[in-house]
Amino acid sequence: MSLYRLVAQFLRRHWFAYAVSGAMLLGIALLNVWIPRQIGRVVDQLVANRLAGSSLVLELGWLVAAGAVVYGLRVAWRLKLYAAAYRLGVELRERLYARLTLQGADFYLHQRTGNLMALATNDIDAVEMAAGEAMLAGFDGTLTLVLVVAAMSLGIDARLAAAALLPFPLMALSFWWISRHVHEASRRSLERFGALNDHVQETLSGVRTVRALGLQARSEAQFSGLAAGAAEASLSAQRWEATYEPAVGFTLSAATALTLGVGGWLVWQGQLTVGQLTSFSLYLGQLIWPMFAAGWVLSLVQRGKAAWGRLQPVLDTPLSVGDHGRIAQVTPGPLAAQGVCFRYPGQARPALDGVSFELAAGRTLGLVGPTGAGKSTLLRLLLRHHAPGAGSLRWAGVDLQDYTLAALRAGIAWVPQEAFLFSASVAENLALARPGATREQIARAAQLAAVHEDILRLPQGYDTPVGERGVTLSGGQRQRVALARALLADAPMLLLDDTLTAVDTDTEARILEHLRRSRTGRTTIIVSHRLSAVADADQVVVLRDGHVAEQGDHAALLAANGWYARQWRYQQLEASLDAS
C-alpha cells in the first residue's frame, strides 16, 4: 500500500472533519480574494474624491471585519484538521504496537529495538503530517492559487496576469528537482535517527555492564559518531528543504518586476487604473502562500513517503508464529509431545530432534540436561514463541496450534530464566496477570515464593517502586517476585525455566515445598540445573543434544545409573562439601 492510498482510506473514514476544514478554507480563500478587490475599489474612490467621512470608516470597517473572520476561520480549521490527523497517528501506533506484541522471537532476531521505537515516534509523526498538514495545505494553496489567478485574469487584466505568471513554470520544475533530493535526505535522516536511538537504548539497558568493563569512553565515542551522522543527515534534509524558499523568492521577484513593468505601461496607456494595479499587486502578494505551500507540501509528502517506506514493511511482516487457532479457551488435560523437532533459523544442528513424552493432567514434569540441550526451547514451543518444524504438541488432546494465542498464553504461567519487572511498585508487578487481586492474595503468592519477608523490609513494602527492570532488587528477589506473579495468575499450567538459580539451596527448598503444597491440580514443568528441584517430580526427562536421553521418575533414573545418576551424586557431594 502506498502512502497516497493510506491517506485516501483515512480521508474516506474521516471525510466529515476534512470536509468542514475544506469549507472553512474555501471561506478564507473567498475573503482573501475579496479583500484586495475591495482595497482597489477604495483606492479608486479616494483618487476620484468620492469617498470620505463615515463612508470611508464603513469601508475600512468591512476590511477589518473580513480580516477578523479570516483569523477565526484559520484557527478553527487547524483545530478541526489536527483533531482528525492525530487520529491517524494514534491508529498507526496502535497497529504497530499490536503487531510487535504478536511477533515471535524470529522477528526480533532481525530488528533493533531502538529502530522500532523510532518508527513509533518520528516516522509515524512524518506520516501524520503528510495526512494532516500536507493535505489541507495543498488544498488551501491550490484553492487560493485558482481563485487568485481567476481574479487577476478575469477581474482585472488577462494580459497582465499572463505576463506575471511567466516565471511560475520554472519554479514548478525546480520544486520537482528539489523534492527528489528531499525524499532521499529524509530517508537517510530517519534511518540514522533509528540507529542513534538503538545505540542509546542498548547502552542504557546494559549500563552496568558498560561500567563494569570500562567501556564508557568507547560507548561515548560511538554515540558521538552516531549523533554527528544523524545531525548531518538531518541538516542535509533541511538544506534541501531550505532551497524551496529561494526558488519562491526568485519567482516572486521576477513576477513583481513583470507586473510593475507591464502594469505601469497599461496605466500609462489608460487601459488600467491605479486601483486595479494596486489590487493586482496585492493579489500577486497572495500568491506567496500557494508557492510556499507547494514547497511545504512536497517536503511533508516526501518525508511521509520516506517514513512510510520504513514503517510499512514492519506492519506487513507476516507473524513469525501464525495465530490461526479457533479454540478460545483452554481445557486442562494431559500434555503430550510426539516426535517434536525444531531448528533455529540459520543453525545447522536441530535444537530438538524427535522429542516425545506424555504427562498426565495436574502432574509435574522435570526437564534436565546439559546446557544447550533444548530445555528452554521446548518451553518456548509450548508457549508458541516458535512453531515445531515436525511433530506435534497436544494439550487435552488438542494441538497447540488449534488454540488462539491469547487463550493458550492465558492458560500458561511462565517464569523465564531472566525475570523481567516493570518500572512500577512491587504490588503492581505481582498483580500484572491478575489486576483485580486483593492485597491478601498478593501477599499469599509472595509467601509461596518466599519473598514476602524481603518485600516487607523494603522502604515502602509492597508499594516500593522497583525501578526499570527491577534494578533496585537483587537477582534472587527479582526471580522470586516473578515466580509469585506466575503463582498469582493461577493458570492451569506452570512453566519454571531455571527459575531458582539466583537463590540459595535453603530458600530453594522452602519454595519447592510451598510449590508442592500449592500446585495441586496444576500441570507443572520445571527446568533446572539443580536436580534437587525435580527430585519430587512425577516424571523427569533428560535432554541431551536435543534428544531424550533418559526418562522416568527420580528413583528409576538413579537406578539406571546414567547421566542423571552421575549428576545427582556430583551435586550431592558438592552440597555436602559446601555445608561442611
- Domain layout of the chain by residue ranges: 3-316, 334-411+522-580
pTM: 0.67
The span from the first CA to the last CA of the chain, in angstroms, equals 70
Q: Dihedral sign, CA of 267, 271, 276, 277?
A: negative
* Helix pair angle (288-316, 3-13), 10° resolution: 100
CA pair distance 294, 20, nearest whole angstrom: 22
Range 3-316: architecture per CATH: Up-down Bundle (1.20)
Looking at residue 44, its pLDDT comes to 67
Looking at residue 465, its pLDDT comes to 86
Looking at residue 579, its pLDDT comes to 59
CA pair distance 66, 475, nearest whole angstrom: 70
Q: What nine digits make up the cell of 381?
A: 514451543
Type of residue at 121: T
Looking at residue 515, its pLDDT comes to 78
CA pair distance 505, 509, nearest whole angstrom: 6
User: Tens place of pLDDT for every residue, the chain, 580 residues?
Assistant: 677 787 777 777 777 777 787 788 778 777 777 777 777 677 767 666 766 667 777 777 877 887 788 788 877 777 776 677 778 888 888 888 888 887 777 777 777 777 788 888 888 888 888 877 777 777 777 777 777 777 777 777 778 777 777 777 777 777 777 777 777 777 788 778 777 777 777 776 676 677 766 777 777 787 788 888 878 888 887 777 777 777 777 777 787 788 777 777 877 777 777 777 777 777 777 777 777 777 777 778 878 888 888 888 888 888 777 778 888 888 888 999 999 999 887 788 899 999 999 999 888 899 998 888 888 899 989 988 888 889 899 998 899 988 888 888 888 888 888 878 888 888 888 888 788 888 888 888 888 888 888 888 888 888 888 877 777 788 788 888 888 888 888 788 989 888 877 677 777 778 888 877 776 678 889 998 888 888 888 899 999 989 999 999 989 999 989 999 999 888 888 777 765 5
For residues 271, 274, 279, 280, the Cα torsion angle rounded to the nearest 10 degrees is 50
CB 354 within 8 A of CB 543: no
CA pair distance 81, 132, nearest whole angstrom: 7
Judged by DSSP in three states, 113 sits in helix
Looking at residue 541, its pLDDT comes to 92
Q: What nine digits make up the cell of 125?
A: 509523526
Superfamily of domain 334-411+522-580 in CATH is: P-loop containing nucleotide triphosphate hydrolases (3.40.50.300)
Chain centre distance of CA 169: 41
Own/partner pairs, 145-150, CB within 8 angstroms, 24+ separation:
145/287, 145/290, 147/29, 147/30, 147/32, 147/33, 148/32, 148/33, 148/283, 148/286, 148/287, 148/290, 149/287
Buried b (16+ CB within 10 A) or exposed e, 208-238: eebeeeeeeeebeeeeeebeebbeebbebbe
Residue reference for cell 487584466:
157
Q: Shortest CA distance to 186 belongs to which of 456, 3, 377?
A: 3
CA pair distance 330, 333, nearest whole angstrom: 9
Looking at residue 580, its pLDDT comes to 56
Looking at residue 454, its pLDDT comes to 86
Q: Dihedral sign, CA of 287, 292, 293, 297?
A: positive
CB 408 within 8 A of CB 324: no
Looking at residue 394, its pLDDT comes to 92
Q: Dihedral sign, CA of 127, 131, 133, 138?
A: positive
